[in-house]
Structure 1
Amino acid sequence: MAGIRFLLAACCLLFPGVCVSALSRIHVHPDKHWFMDDTGRVRIFHGVNMIGKGYPWYPAQMLNQSRLDELQSWGFTAVRLGMMWAGTEPQEGRFNLTYISIIHNITIELGKRGIYVILDMHQDALVKPFTFYDGVPQWLVESFPPPEHPYPWPLEKITSWSLAYVTQACSHAFQCLYDNYKGAAEKMAGFWKFVASEFSNQTSVLGYELLNEPWVGDWTRDPELLLPGHAGKMNVAPLHDRVSLAIRTVDDEALIFYEPVTWGYMFSQDGDFGSGFEHVPGGKAFQNRSVFSYHYYCSLYHEGQPYPEYKRVACDQIVGPKLFSAVQEDLAVLGGGSFLTEFGTCRTNTSQPDLPDTVECGFVLKEADSFLQSWTYWDTFKGNQVFWDISGRAIPERIGMFVRTYARAVAGIPTTMTFDVDTGHFQLSFEPDPAIKVPTEVFVPRIHYKKGYTVMASAELECEVDESDRSLLYVTIKQTNDVKPIRTNTLFITVVPSSDSMNKSPGSVCLKVNW
């Protein structure tokens, strides 16, 4: 199991030049819910999903060094990377070390660029023929007893893979996993224990997402399972407890990402309509290493068509705000952190701000900023990538919405963060912690500041740009003989395009940056 780690250790001894400094281990403040690094700074992550749905089970673009450089240049600090069970354990008890080595190399290359990785056991309707790829190995499902009704009962036909979830055959397979039929749940725990043993020493691995979008189980036998809180309590949470405890025997530090059924985070901890989790996986002691993973898709887009006002209101004034606030209510009960690990299925165009896709993804990003939420975007629309064209060229109008000015690390407690993609105006307010000796770090992408940018800040702050990468702005508390500001003081950082003459933000000019 430790083969990859042994090879890396030997490589470091023989060729020390190939070993790079590790990223900081990230933990979660159990009550305040922040991601925090080992210096005490609050961390916010922006990034993208990269999932290989089918052989060879990894996204080929992740082997492209220029593509990884591009992600870094966009300020992304997280990739949700598929850690596919069918690719890892194609035969029961036999692990594919070549696949593990490739995933390991991807995490190393991303780590060199300051990008953390969430290893995600991705599935959609579990396995073929319910869907178009095996989210779990075929050998696992072949060990289950046949369902009472043939696939696709109770439907006559399947017009979309997502409808396969409601079939009795797919629901029955999930229930066998939850019920640990012939040790199925233990086998999943064994898969994750193997993965964790291989990656436990790699701090660029932010954590392990145990099961993407879990289904409720066999609702045809127990219709109450369609209530997400009931399904969570009876099926989803116990599986997460079992798997997380197996991981903790080999990796006690990495974060564990857990997700309820997809409508279980709409209603917070509200009995049968909530997530069903009564504690983070493993129990209260693991709050500082647990992350509530959630997704947001308001499937009301009208690509290239006028956006009906009633649908915009439904998404932006009802569904979206309810979801974001419900997640915060869940955290108040469960503790730990939260991460918007999927949203998207939209092709934005910053030159057409009224397009439905632009409106909807813009709304989600603004909500994430207002709740100071980390996110990884789902970069696929109708089977095609959004950020790049078929030749692999990045599309500026598409990426402009997601490549944003934001505070990646805050030496204190952030209170508000806003960014206007149309004007380039950014503002951060935070309560500084003078005990933290490293700077607040703000990423300022060139795409929004063609003629440079101007930084305004509270008088107590001083600013510096990274001369090797002028998109990185560092802000620290001035060192004077005066009494340092106490932590409860709220300080401000504002960034505007240098061509913008308006200066109505608090504070004075701290720095002007030209490219």
Structure 2
Amino acid sequence: MAGMRFFLALCCLLSTGVFVSALSRVHVHPDRHWFMDDTGRVRIFHGVNMVQKGYPWYPAQMLNQSQLDELQSWGFNSVRLGMMWTGTEPQEGRYNHTYISIIRNITTELGRRGIYVILDMHQDALVRPFTFYDGVPPWLVQSFPPPDHPYPWPLENITSWQYAYVTQACSHAFQCLYDNYKGAAEKMASFWKFVASEFSNQTSVLGYELLNEPWVGDWTRDPELLLPGHAGKVNLSPLHDRVSLAIRTVDEETLIFYEPVTWGYIFSEDGVFGSGYEHVPGGKAFQNRSVFSYHYYCSLYHGGQPYPEYERVACDQIVGPKLFSAVQEDLKVLGGGAFLTEFGTCSPNTSQPDLSDTVECGFVLREADRFLQSWTYWDTFKGTGAFWDRSGRAIPERISMFVRTYARAVAGIPTAMTFDVVTRRFHLTFDPDPSIKEPTEIFVPRIHYEKGYTVMVSSELKCDIDEKDRSLLYVTLKETNNVRALLTNTSTITVVPSSDSVNDIEEAVCLKVNW
């Protein structure tokens, strides 16, 4: 019923002509690893995960027009949306076209708001009873032979779904998928081929994420699989090759997101401690349409307490920097792009800067900016969404951590980007490309600049705002007969609250914006 109401509302919108132009198709620079749109601008994405782990397999927030409007107003330009295999193919070979229609309407509504979608085939420990929902259809796993030992061997009981991964039964089921037992991998490829055939003409679909957090396979038969490089080489990479090639028979353009074993992207070394991938899914020819998906979870939940120093050091000085650097090293070998598609288990409160969740989320966001990485925050709040309470009210002290000033599109090559959530000062440096006619686009959220904001730029730049949405700042090169003569240094853009002094900033004031 909710899906029907949403469909009727969408038809009403279309009939009144309230529709924006289609989003640009995005590809990846195979060597520089940037996301790039059809105009040649580098694109950076900020967003949130929306995954419904169970019937009806799509999140209720995505049917709420006001909450979609809020996502747009907060500057988010990406959503990682659950594209659930069980919801799509509840019976083998029989696809649920009603479900597909609802997902298509969601992607259309998000695209209408300038928000791209990553369709994510989400799973956690595959199916019940290993976990609390069927991430893959039960009919698939029911076709596998039984493991040597009953679930949950070698454990006596399971207190949380994460522990199911170490059981032989769950690991055996993954191995059957990787081994294409009775065509299991081909069936997964057929699922994705069907999805791609349904969404290939929607440029609002940024990419297809083939398998969330894949497990290593049956480590009880081959203990070496616990080494992520070995698992990646013998199990994950061949599966991703098979599925991606099936997709490419119906969709040559949409990005394919692939994910190694979750601890395989902490190390960039070749061999058993890395991802194990020797090429992007499908091979080198697909580097400009392939994205290395990675997740970051380090800190523990401390119930609103200050962050223990030992844990902060371990996460923010050792594990975190190592992971972000390792991903960049992997890209040098594999080509393609990278996207931080999950991080979380932190619910920050910007009014409590010493709170462990505030510190940890802030660290991840700063690192993402430092490496110019796109991200989608994990929705950790069941039934409510990451940014709303149970009554549907937005939570300002949480939103203000993730709603940030950032460059959504850069007409050139970005070299550095920073945003300080305390001072609200934003700074971007980039090398402009005079051949790109579209502007550099900066999103400036009102939540951080209630009294307005001031923009400073280097001398070769000029700026303007979107009069319909004063959160959108556009920066272009000045018109001159000799543009290249102006480009002797890296260009800069700085944004500060209007109440701040700008005497310590080298650039000239370009404009002051009041709401």
> Where on the TM-score scale, by shorter chain, does this alignment land: which range?
over 0.9
User: In 2, are the aligned partners of 1:232 and 1:261 still within 8 Å (CA)?
Assistant: yes
Partners in 1 of 2:147 and 2:497 — Cα distance?
61
Secondary structure of the 1:111 match is helix
Partners in 2 of 1:50 and 1:483 — Cα distance?
44
Structure 2 unaligned residues grouped into runs of 5+:
1-6
User: In 1, are the aligned partners of 2:460 and 2:486 still within 8 Å (CA)?
Assistant: no
Secondary structure of the 1:471 match is strand
Structure 2 equivalent of residue 376 of structure 1 = 376
Shift of 1:308: 1.4
Structure 2 equivalent of residue 511 of structure 1 = 511
User: In 1, are the aligned partners of 2:19 and 2:112 still within 8 Å (CA)?
Assistant: no
The range that moved more, 485-494 or 19-28, is 485-494
Partners in 1 of 2:479 and 2:180 — Cα distance?
60
Residue 289, structure 1, aligned to residue 295, structure 2:
no
Structure 2 equivalent of residue 4 of structure 1 = none
Number of paired residues? Answer: 505
Partners in 2 of 1:173 and 1:483 — Cα distance?
61
Structure 1 equivalent of residue 25 of structure 2 = 25
User: In 2, are the aligned partners of 1:345 and 1:382 still within 8 Å (CA)?
Assistant: no
Structure 1 equivalent of residue 4 of structure 2 = none
User: In 1, are the aligned partners of 2:460 and 2:487 still within 8 Å (CA)?
Assistant: no
User: In 2, are the aligned partners of 1:303 and 1:357 still within 8 Å (CA)?
Assistant: no
Correspondence list, 1:74-93, <5 A? 74-93=74-93
Correspondence list, 1:379-418, <5 A? 379-381=379-381, 385-418=385-418
Partners in 1 of 2:471 and 2:216 — Cα distance?
45
Partners in 2 of 1:129 and 1:512 — Cα distance?
58
Residue 230, structure 1, aligned to residue 230, structure 2:
yes
The range that moved more, 366-375 or 299-308, is 299-308
Opposite residue 346 of structure 1, the aligned amino acid is C
Shift of 1:306: 2.4
Shift of 1:456: 0.3
Structure 2 equivalent of residue 183 of structure 1 = 183
Shift of 1:268: 1.3
Correspondence list, 1:2-13, <5 A? none
Secondary structure of the 2:402 match is coil
Correspondence list, 1:106-117, <5 A? 106-117=106-117
Partners in 1 of 2:390 and 2:421 — Cα distance?
26
Correspondence list, 1:90-489, <5 A? 90-381=90-381, 385-485=385-485, 489=489
Structure 1 unaligned residues grouped into runs of 5+:
1-6
Partners in 1 of 2:447 and 2:94 — Cα distance?
47
User: In 2, are the aligned partners of 1:44 and 1:407 still within 8 Å (CA)?
Assistant: yes
Shift of 1:228: 0.2
Opposite residue 222 of structure 2, the aligned amino acid is D
The range that moved more, 358-367 or 495-504, is 495-504
Q: Percent identity?
A: 84
User: In 2, are the aligned partners of 1:339 and 1:373 still within 8 Å (CA)?
Assistant: yes
User: In 1, are the aligned partners of 2:36 and 2:43 still within 8 Å (CA)?
Assistant: yes
Secondary structure of the 1:484 match is helix
RMSD: 1.6
Structure 2 equivalent of residue 3 of structure 1 = none
TM-score of the aligned structures, taking structure 1 as reference length: 0.96
Residue 492, structure 1, aligned to residue 483, structure 2:
no
Partners in 2 of 1:145 and 1:486 — Cα distance?
69
User: In 2, are the aligned partners of 1:158 and 1:164 still within 8 Å (CA)?
Assistant: yes
CA distances 1:234-291 after superposition (whole Å, capped 9, x unpaired) = 0000000000000000000000000001000000143100001100000000000000
Partners in 1 of 2:489 and 2:29 — Cα distance?
21
